């Protein structure tokens, strides 16, 4: 039994590892070919991003999904969520993501201090350069659908027979590592845990896709749109210039941005309250986070179960690959 479990988890790890390597290989190839034959396309932030994302979501991730789908699975029983439950789940989701983002920022800063160099989080700078519609289509529509299929349905249905807890933990860990940088790992891990729990309890992918889309919409589309329309970034640059130069003429430009700063501040306060409400709801509902035990033959492994599931070549190499990318 122990060898069977170790072999099963190793196959899963190797499938996700192979898919991850293919993602990097094809994106690298696409970038090289693009720069050689259509340098103008690759020089533009929007078109180059679209090319790289199309190779990822159109070629590499379907290949990864095909590899994973060849591994035996166990279908999860479907259960309904009410609209009220979904809204509460969304708030909890957002609260966990917000807390994870703070943890990720602290980790990034700490490791940067130790290394003596910065640990990059390319997400913010990338999103700010993109056309809002490009961001919306890829980050809000395509990415959540593909990622939920890969890291919720395909992954958890291949692990749930070894226990719901194992499936949920794998969902969080694989999803967190897949984001490829420390800043995103923490919140993606917590988000993956929560969405994994929702999926093993409902068996319905549309619930987790909807939650994922809503989270990405607020973080990627709505947030950057608010930054643009309120002129918040420009106002902050003007304020910094005034503080550094004490040039009173700069205050004229600063005055024009006060209204925008107020609007963005109100939006940020609303987001903060929403995150706080989500964390409070998570705490109040903590006793409901109960995972069903695995089959008796799996449970009989006792404390060795975790070592068997993690201590195999596939899982270890998948983890090592992404940790190497992160640091």
For residues 236 and 112, is the Cβ–Cβ distance under 8 A? Answer: no
Mean predicted lDDT score pLDDT of the chain: 88
DSSP string, 86-139: HHHHHHHHHHHHHHHHHHHHHHHHHHHHHHTS----HHHHHHHHS-HHHHIIII
Position 63 pLDDT exceeds 60? yes
Looking at the chain, the whole-number percentage of residues with pLDDT higher than 90 is 61
Give the pLDDT confidence score for residue 10 in this predicted structure.
96
80-101 average pLDDT score: 96
Give the pLDDT confidence score for residue 119 in this predicted structure.
55
Position 269 pLDDT exceeds 70? yes
For residues 23 and 60, is the Cβ–Cβ distance under 8 A? Answer: yes
Q: How far is CA 9 from CA 151, 166, 223, in A?
A: 14, 11, 38
146-162 average pLDDT score: 96
Q: How far is CA 203 from CA 78, 136, 145, 161, in A?
A: 4, 27, 15, 14
Binned at pLDDT 50, 70 and 90, residue 40 comes out as: confident
- Confirm whether pTM is higher than 0.85: yes
Of 5-19, 209-223, 248-262, 302-316, the poorest mean pLDDT is in 248-262
Give the pLDDT confidence score for residue 220 in this predicted structure.
87
**The tokens of 125 are what?**
């700078």
User: How many angstroms separate the CA atoms of 203 and 152, rounded?
Assistant: 9
- At residue 79, φ and ψ (nearest 5 deg) are -140, 150
Binned at pLDDT 50, 70 and 90, residue 264 comes out as: confident
What SS3 state is found at 301? coil
Position 114 pLDDT exceeds 80? no
Give the pLDDT confidence score for residue 292 in this predicted structure.
78
Give the pLDDT confidence score for residue 304 in this predicted structure.
74
User: How many angstroms separate the CA atoms of 254 and 88, rounded?
Assistant: 40
Binned at pLDDT 50, 70 and 90, residue 242 comes out as: low
142-162 average pLDDT score: 96
Position 238 pLDDT exceeds 80? no
pLDDT per position as a tens digit, 281-297: 999 999 999 887 666 55
Position 121 pLDDT exceeds 60? no
Element (H, E) at 220: none
Position 323 pLDDT exceeds 80? yes
45-50 average pLDDT score: 90
């Amino acid at each position: 039994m122990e060898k069977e479990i170790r072999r099963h988890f190793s196959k899963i790890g190797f499938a996700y590892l192979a898919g991850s390597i293919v993602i990097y290989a094809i994106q690298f190839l696409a970038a090289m070919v693009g720069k050689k034959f259509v340098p103008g396309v690759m020089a533009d932030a929007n078109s180059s991003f679209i090319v790289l994302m199309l190779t990822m979501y159109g070629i590499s991730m379907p290949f990864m999904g095909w590899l994973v789908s060849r591994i035996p699975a166990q279908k999860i029983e479907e259960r309904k969520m009410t609209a009220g439950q979904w809204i509460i789940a969304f708030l909890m989701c957002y609260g966990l993501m917000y807390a994870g983002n703070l943890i990720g920022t602290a980790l990034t800063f700490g490791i940067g201090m130790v290394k003596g160099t910065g640990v990059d989080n390319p997400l913010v700078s990338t999103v700010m350069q993109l056309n809002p519609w490009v961001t919306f289509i890829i980050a809000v529509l395509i990415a959540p659908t593909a990622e939920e299929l890969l890291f919720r349905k395909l992954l958890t249905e291949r692990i749930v027979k070894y226990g719901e807890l194992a499936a949920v933990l794998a969902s969080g860990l694989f999803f967190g590592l897949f984001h490829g940088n420390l800043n995103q790992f923490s919140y993606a891990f917590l988000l993956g845990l929560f969405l994994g729990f929702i999926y093993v309890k409902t068996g319905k992918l549309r619930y987790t896709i909807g939650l994922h889309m809503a989270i990405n919409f607020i973080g990627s589309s709505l947030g950057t749109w608010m930054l643009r329309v309120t002129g918040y970034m420009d106002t902050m640059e003007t304020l910094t210039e005034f503080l550094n130069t004490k040039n009173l003429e700069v205050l004229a430009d600063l005055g024009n941005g006060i209204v925008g700063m107020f609007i963005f501040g109100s939006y940020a306060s609303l987001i903060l309250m929403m995150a706080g409400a989500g964390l409070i709801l998570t705490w109040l509902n903590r006793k409901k986070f109960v995972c069903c035990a695995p089959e008796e033959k799996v449970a009989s492994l006792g404390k060795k179960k975790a070592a068997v599931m993690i201590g195999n070549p596939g899982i270890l190499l998948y983890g090592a690959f992404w940790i190497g990318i992160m640091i």
